[in-house]
Amino acid sequence: MTQTPTLEEIRKAPKVLLHDHLDGGLRPETIIELARERGHRLPSTDPDNLAEWFRESADSGSLERYLDTFTHTVAVMQTREALTRVAAECAEDLADDGIVYAEVRYAPELHTDGGLTLDEVVEAVLEGFRIGSTGPDGRQRIRVGTLLTAMRHQARSMEIAELAVRYRDAGVVGFDIAGAEAGYPPTRHLDAFEYLKRENAHFTIHAGEGFGLPSIWQAIQWCGADRLGHGVRIIDDITVADDGTVTLGRLAAYVRDKRIPLEMCPTSNVQTGAAKSIAEHPIGLLRRLCFRVTVNTDNRLMSGTSLSLEFAKLVEAFGYGWDDLQWFTVNAMKSAFIPFDERLALINGVIKPGFAQLKWRM
Ligand SMILES: O=c1[nH]cnc2c1ncn2[C@H]1C[C@H](O)[C@@H](CO)O1
Ligand SMILES: [Zn+2]
């Protein structure tokens, strides 16, 4: 019962992932094959070297430079076949890591260079998730919901929001904005968020990663985000005195009181400079203060990670046990964009029994 969870054991736990980018999780071998077909030049054509190149280049200390690495993944995701393949492999890889429910996001507007329409992009990805979620025995191994992202420096958010609503009954469960944060406040896209609210649709906003509290404040109080992508800089509104007394500012208190989910991505945050190290990541304090923290991968390729590995790093840094990992997982499932009864069924029918089995095996 008291044993520290190992990476192998964590892999077996039924986990939930809310923040993972489709174009940040390709298999290196797939990038190489697709690039060869398309005539796209890569920094390396050796899978291990290429994986290393992505990790090192993303290790830049800046969100903007981190985002530069996506040129190579997006370049090879421009046809229906490529998008379906990448999505199918994504679902397979997540299921192999023991994830039972995932929300995977991507920006349809980045995948039209080969002549696809936005609708064709969405349909190709949905088809890939359907294929990759099904095991060889025909049984569903994982449930994958899609989030459609609009790029915050562009001006297509309304179009993408409408796309998300159009495909809401076909597997698209929500909307997001991503890209460089400084200089591109969420309020630039207020019309899209207001439209989504009128449509009773769900959305999350990348905020408090490359920029601080004003971005989080706008995302919540102006735009009405259901969740925060990262939200790590909410720590700037929390003070810890020398004697350990903690004081929350008004925004941090609001986020906690309203149980606004934080989609935290520890390794990615260290790479972009949003956190100094895993051990110093605000997730430790936020978990102690009972914010609704969830653990995520962001970009598995750029961070050389998986959800199990993110959990294992947290176990090492903060001494977390099975109860903590279950708490993060239930938080994530409660915060998902699928209907309440379906979330509850996964919590009671899959997550709790799965963790109980692992705990009692100790
Ligand atoms: O962590 C992130 N912050 C902001 N933007 C991001 C992050 N990870 C990926 N993106 C961008 C790059 C992708 O091309 C886009 C859609 O997935 O979202
Ligand atoms: Zn992200």
Mean pLDDT rounded to a whole number for the chain: 97
What pLDDT, on the 0 to 100 scale, is given for residue 3?
84
What pLDDT, on the 0 to 100 scale, is given for residue 2?
53
User: ipTM greater than 0.95, yes or no?
Assistant: yes
Nearest 5°: the CA angle 149, 269, 67 is 50
Buried b (16+ CB within 10 A) or exposed e, 146-180: bbbbbbbebebbbebbbbbbebbeebbbbbbbbbb
CATH code of the domain in which 108 resides: 3.20.20.140
In a domain, 2, yes or no: no
What pLDDT, on the 0 to 100 scale, is given for residue 60?
87
In a domain, 268, yes or no: yes
pLDDT band at 1 (very low <50, low <70, confident <90, very high): very low
Cα–Cα distance for residue pair 302/40, rounded to 1 Å: 19
Cα–Cα distance for residue pair 217/64, rounded to 1 Å: 22
In a domain, 29, yes or no: yes
Q: Residue 17: enclosing H or E segment and its boundaries?
A: strand 15-21
- Tell whether ligand 1 has an atom less than 6 A from the beta carbon of residue 202: no
Q: What is the pLDDT of residues 307-356, one digit of tens each?
A: 999 999 999 999 999 999 999 999 999 999 999 999 999 999 999 999 99
Range of the domain at 262: 7-361
The secondary structure of 306-333 as a DSSP string is: -HHHHHHHHHHHH---HHHHHHHHHHHH
Phi, psi of 75 (to 5 degrees): -60, -30
In a domain, 80, yes or no: yes
Which atom of ligand 1 is the closest one to the Cα of 67? 12
Reduced to 3 states (helix: H, G, I; strand: E, B; else coil), residue 301 is helix
Closest C-alpha residue for ligand 1 atom 1: 298
Calculate mean pLDDT across residues 57-75.
94
In a domain, 170, yes or no: yes
Q: What is the percent of the chain where pLDDT is above 70?
A: 99
Structural domain count of the chain: 1
- Dmax over CA atoms of the chain, in Å, equals 61
And the tokens for 115?
A: 């002549």
Cα(21) to centroid(ligand 2), Å: 6
What pLDDT, on the 0 to 100 scale, is given for residue 261?
98
pLDDT at residue 361 above 80?
Answer: no
In a domain, 98, yes or no: yes
In a domain, 59, yes or no: yes
**Best of 59, 64, 206 to mutate for ligand 1, by most ligand atoms within 8 A of CB?**
206
- The reported pTM is 0.98
- Name which residue leads in pLDDT, 64 or 340: 340
In a domain, 1, yes or no: no
Residue 179, annotated as binding a ligand: yes
Which positions ≥6 away from 200 have C-beta within 8 Å? none
Cα(113) to centroid(ligand 1), Å: 18
Q: What is the pLDDT of residues 128-175, one digit of tens each?
A: 999 999 999 999 999 999 999 999 999 999 999 999 999 999 999 999
280 is catalytic: no
